[in-house]
Amino acid sequence: MKLLFSTDNIPIDVRFKRWLETLEEQRLPLEQEQLDAAPFEARLEIATLGPLTMTRVSEGPLRSEATPAKIRRLGDDGWISVGLTLAGTTTIAQRDRVSTQRPGDLVVIEHQPTVMTTSPGNRSLYLKIPRERLEGVLGPAHRYAARTVGADLATATLAMGYFAELSRMHHQLDPVAAARMGSIGVDLIVASIAERMAQDLPQPLGGNVLVQRAKAHVEANLGDPSLDPSQLAAAVGVSPRRLQQLFHERGQDVSDWIWQRRLEVAADRLIDPAFTNLTIATLAAGCGFTSRVYFTRRFKNRFGLTPSDFRYAVGLSPQ
């Protein structure tokens, strides 16, 4: 990751001031104060993987506040943050919730007034994710923001390990591969949050949670050509009939949803410059299609253009 700031070689008496200046330069809407008298130590690193931004922060004990004034000044830019605690502890207060994250835990942080405290030796990885990537599957962020997604969940453990490794190796990837790996990681985050919601929300919302978990599983497994309603039902722990019933109650069909998401993601990638070096056959396979002919037919029925024409329409090579 690219090093943006380190207190190494900075005189002790100006370290914290320089740190605050760096946060301002990075457009982070935070007011901070130190919680002890020890010499301030911090490190800030960043990496970009397509639309995903990873920021790794190492810092001493701090109280950080995203005030309404700071948030208004920067505006809501359509992004949301996910914090992964690597070392130490982090406490988040947002809306009417207060939660603490320990190593291996993660938490969603909305673009809302927030107070956060970190322990000595805290090290965290923050992901800046397009809001629709979460809300399109899980619903409004306020329902799950500031709730600890614990390391006791298998999906959370997978997500933590994945991003720890990705932060270490991303520089070895070309931009297209890096963007794809970042997208896979976000799918793991979505699955982790969905699993946490299933544990935490009241029983009357159980149907909503099951549907959200199913949709999260679809997003994380679009490239699996064997994904079908039966496999999806097994993945979320209900019968195929029950899952179909829940989807029908929401005016949807399980199989139609899977194919809809395959086609929508394929369309997004066809016009994304990050995927221009992929042939249409390779791109289709990455969305779960085993036949280019079948993919072309389904795509044209859905969008009125063949994949090649669709890509060409935005000025990219049809391949």
Does residue 121 come out as left (phi exceeding 0), alpha (psi in the -120 to 50 range) or beta? left
For the beta carbon of residue 222, count every other beta carbon within 10 angstroms.
21
Say if residue 319's pLDDT is above 70.
Answer: no
Mean pLDDT of 19-23: 91
18 and 123 fall within a common domain: yes
CA distance 13 to 8: 13
The arithmetic mean of pLDDT across residues 200-210, rounded, is 64
Q: Clarify whether residues 178 and 229 are in a common domain.
A: no
Residues 161 and 183 in one domain: yes
Residue 48 shares a structural domain with residue 162: yes
pLDDT in tens, 158-195: 999 999 999 999 889 888 888 888 988 998 898 888 88
Q: Are 193 and 245 part of one and the same domain?
A: no
* 204 has a pLDDT exceeding 50: no
**pLDDT band, very low/low/confident/very high, at 58 (cuts 50, 70, 90):** very high
* Length of the chain in terms of residues written: 319
pLDDT at 101: 97
> To 10 degrees, the CA torsion angle through 57, 62, 63, 66?
-30
What domain count does the chain have? 2
Q: Based on the fold, state whether residues 190 and 214 are members of the same structural domain.
A: no
CATH number of the domain bearing residue 113: 2.60.120.10
Among candidate residues 199, 228, 251, the one where a domain is terminated: 199
N- to C-terminal Cα distance for the chain?
33
Q: Is 189 within 8 Å of 159 (Cβ atoms)?
A: yes
Q: Are residues 311 and 214 in the same domain?
A: yes
Provide the pLDDT for residue 190: 86
Site of tokens 């994710």: 129
Query: Do residue 17 and residue 101 come from a single domain?
Result: yes
Q: Are residues 115 and 229 in the same domain?
A: no
Q: What CATH number corresponds to the domain at position 278?
A: 1.10.10.60
Tally of CB atoms within 10 A around 250: 11
> Could you tell me which residue, 304 or 239, shows the higher pLDDT?
304
Report pLDDT digits (tens) over 108-160.
999 889 999 999 999 999 999 988 888 877 888 888 999 999 999 888 999 99
**Domain boundary pick from 199, 223, 242:** 199
Indicate the average pLDDT of the chain: 89
pLDDT in tens, 227-272: 999 888 878 877 788 899 999 988 999 999 999 999 999 999 998 8
- 18 Cβ contact partners less than 8 Å away, ≥ 6 residues apart: 5, 7, 10
Of 169, 199, 229, the position where a domain reaches its end is 199
**At 104, which amino acid appears?**
G
Same domain, 184 and 300: no
| 267-306 per-residue burial string, b: 16 or more CB within 10 A, e: under 16 | bebbebebbeebebbebbbbbbbeebeebbebbeeebeeb
